[in-house]
Structure 1
């Protein structure tokens, strides 16, 4: 029974990892948020495995669950901090009305598409 549970949890981990590996049609920010949520959910699942191992007095399940929970929490925190850094960088860039790169001037323009307004930079020579 314990082997089946370990295999089931291993399969769930593999499925979450594979789902995060294939890029979809979502924006990069949405993907980053989804990956962060996957790590959080995996940490909760591993914490449950730890509790199950403690209840059943199985040190192997407890150890595997605790190690998985610690790793998942670490990855969640790294993704969270990375997401904040990306948001700060993006806000810093779009707060400027123009910038120069490789000798070319790029100006910020307001674009409306499908009822949504957003900024993008256009090269001006």
Structure 2
């Protein structure tokens, strides 16, 4: 039943329900939620630019790791649009680990990166 609720939550992006679920994930502590949300904003406000820099250096594994870390913490905090965008990037970076940053792959990465940047900016407001 809980899985179904989470799936519905992800599909609708209901901010209040996502926040409520995140607080429950953190033991019901709104103070802890606010603390981790502030840390998320401080740490990840510039993460899209950092990913671009790492990507430009050709380091697909580090690019994947950065996207993965955003994905996990964003999900814990109920920032599902941000988590989903990071997940899409992570999948693309896994391909880049195998193939390198090919022109064809970059055609998929660049729009995913723009979407990710938009979602991170929304989450860090």
Same-fold call, TM > 0.5? no
TM-score, scaled to structure 2: 0.43
Q: Which one has the bigger strand percentage?
A: 1
Q: Which one has the bigger helix percentage?
A: 2
Of structures 1 and 2, the one with the larger relative CO (CA 8 A, separation 6+) is 2
> Which protein has the larger Cα radius of gyration, Structure 1 or Structure 2?
1
